[in-house]
């Protein structure tokens, strides 16, 4: 089809170029043969160029595919390395000494405790009023509560930098939402028991102004909560239920905070699992003791006579018969 198209075009060109005398010298058969040869020549050139173009496109596609595969593998390795690095960084923060408990009878006032203790429910964070600082221990310390529990300010700054790194990794698509979900045990403790409000007040005197500086904490934890709600991850949601920081709760979208609860004002919520366990144990012990007493009483006070051992063995008495004895013969003289 392509050759026929070229042949018609070439015949027309030959007729236009040649003069009337020259065209008269060529027979119709010669003109057809010449045009067909030229059409085959040019079509061969075009087909060759088209084949070369297709080969070049295939090579480019193959190279890009290999490059994309290598990029994906490198990105996955970088993702795994970053996750491991984030976990190691938080482990170092978790075990870093920097907490002083000076007014507690159960703790030594001269001992520097690990900062992980500050994230337990034994230590309350109170953000009422301006945050107080102290230099009594040779470091800039932040007073957490009225009991004068003091936490090093350097640790709070490191925590904020750690959240910012996670937020930048998610924004740059180095980490996925399911990746930050795996860190919920490290991230969610900072939005319960008034800790989010405390960090906002620590960074700035005005809480609303401080939200911009701790926006990384809010975004990371909010995406974690949203992922848990979508994927039905109940354990993290049970952890924050009734303990969410009021300031953090107010910043959540309505769809996210619909099934969540804030902590009661004052002290943080305490787990209610202890009382039911103790009550159940007490209830379980009473019937066990009564059952033992009821078993002993019937055995001692039963109306039926116990079976004695000597009744089981029948005693055989000697049997004496006098029918075969002659009394007169045996009678002594």
| Model confidence pLDDT, tens digit, residues 205-233 | 555 555 778 899 999 999 999 999 999 99
Residue 294's pLDDT band (cuts 50, 70, 90): very low
In the block, tokens 């408990």 appear at 101
Angle at 111 between CA 109 and CA 116, to 5 degrees: 110
Pick the residue with more confidence: 75 or 329? 75
pLDDT at 166 over 50: yes
Domain boundaries, the chain: 1-6+33-81, 95-257
Residue 90's pLDDT band (cuts 50, 70, 90): very high
Query: Where is 73: in which H helix or E strand?
Result: helix 28-94
Residue 201's pLDDT band (cuts 50, 70, 90): confident
Return d(Cα 176, Cα 79) in angstroms, integer. 9
Pick the residue with more confidence: 237 or 16? 237
pLDDT (mean) for 55-84: 77
Contact call for residues 201 and 210 (beta carbons, < 8 A): yes
Return d(Cα 30, Cα 7) in angstroms, integer. 13
In the block, tokens 């904020």 appear at 160
**Which neighbouring-strand residues pair with 101?**
149
pLDDT confidence of residue 306: 45
pLDDT at 53 over 80: yes
pLDDT confidence of residue 272: 43
**Cβ count within 10 A of residue 192:** 24
Share of the chain above pLDDT 90, in %: 33
Pick from 87, 86, 123: which is nearest to 103 by CA? 123
């Amino acid at each position: 089809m392509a050759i026929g198209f070229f042949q018609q075009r070439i015949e027309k060109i030959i007729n236009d170029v040649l003069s009337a005398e020259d065209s008269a010298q060529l027979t119709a058969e010669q003109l057809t043969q010449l045009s067909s040869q030229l059409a085959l020549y040019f079509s061969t050139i075009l087909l060759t160029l088209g084949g070369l173009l297709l080969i070049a496109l295939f090579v480019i596609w193959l190279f890009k595919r290999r490059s994309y595969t290598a990029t994906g593998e490198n990105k996955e390795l970088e993702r795994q390395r970053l996750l491991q690095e984030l976990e190691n960084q938080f482990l170092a923060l978790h075990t870093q000494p920097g907490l002083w408990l000076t007014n507690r009878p159960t703790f030594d006032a001269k001992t520097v405790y690990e900062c992980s203790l500050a994230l337990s429910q034994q230590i309350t964070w109170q953000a009422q009023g301006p945050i107080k600082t102290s230099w009594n221990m040779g470091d800039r310390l932040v007073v957490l509560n009225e009991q004068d529990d003091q936490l090093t300010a350097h640790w709070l700054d490191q925590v904020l930098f750690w959240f910012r790194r996670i937020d930048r990794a998610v924004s740059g698509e180095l980490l996925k939402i399911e990746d930050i979900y795996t860190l919920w045990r490290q991230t969610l403790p900072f939005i319960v028991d008034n800790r989010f409000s405390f960090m906002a007040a620590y960074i700035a005197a005005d809480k609303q102004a401080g939200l911009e500086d701790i926006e990384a904490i809010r975004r990371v934890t909010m995406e974690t909560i949203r992922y848990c709600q979508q994927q039905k991850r109940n354990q993290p949601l049970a952890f924050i239920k009734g303990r969410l920081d009021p300031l953090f709760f107010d910043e959540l979208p309505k769809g996210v905070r619909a099934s969540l609860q804030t902590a009661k004002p004052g002290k943080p919520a305490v787990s209610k699992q202890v009382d039911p366990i103790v009550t159940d144990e007490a209830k379980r012990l009473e019937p066990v003791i009564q059952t033992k007493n009821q078993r002993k009483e019937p055995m001692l006070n039963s109306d039926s006579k116990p079976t004695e051992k000597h009744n089981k063995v029948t005693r055989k008495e000697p049997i004496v018969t006098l029918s075969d004895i002659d009394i007169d013969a045996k009678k002594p003289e």
